[in-house]
Amino acid sequence: MPTREELYDEADKLKDAGNLDEAVARLNEAVAMDPMYALAHSALAVVLTRLKRHDEAIVHAQKVCELEPNEAFSFTALSVACQRAGRILDAENAMAHARLLQG
């Protein structure tokens, strides 16, 4: 059975090859194996955004923020996901939080 890191690496290669649905499947396997795996949630947010599955992308971006509440980049990524979904107020709020964390 592959590790969460091996699943992530496989998903990354699939994403680079343009196989986004397969990448999502591998990343979902990694998250099922370890729901606290922030890197896989972050990658899911990116790939799901590319697939225009915005609501799902935002859920994963929010999870990253929960897992890494002191990381400004996590909130910046959430802002991007929200912006792409047309949720401008949510995007602005996430970016404001990122700026607060940056000091």
pTM of structure? 0.94
Q: Is the pLDDT of residue 2 over 90?
A: yes
Q: 103 falls in which pLDDT band (50, 70, 90)?
A: confident
The mean predicted confidence, pLDDT, of the chain is 97
Q: Would you list the domain boundaries of the chain?
A: 4-102
Q: Check residue 30 and give its pLDDT.
A: 98
Q: Which helix (H) or strand (E) holds 48?
A: helix 38-50
So what's the pLDDT on residue 80? 96
CB of 61 closer than 8 Å to CB of 77: yes
Tokens found for residue 15: 């994403």
Residue 86 confidence (pLDDT): 96
Residue with tokens 């592959």: 2
Confidence band (pLDDT; 50, 70, 90) for 58? Answer: very high
| pLDDT tens digits for range 14-51 | 999 999 999 999 999 999 999 999 999 999 999 999 99
Q: Which residues contact 83 (CB under 8 A, 6 or more apart)?
A: 91
The CATH code belonging to domain 4-102 is 1.25.40.10
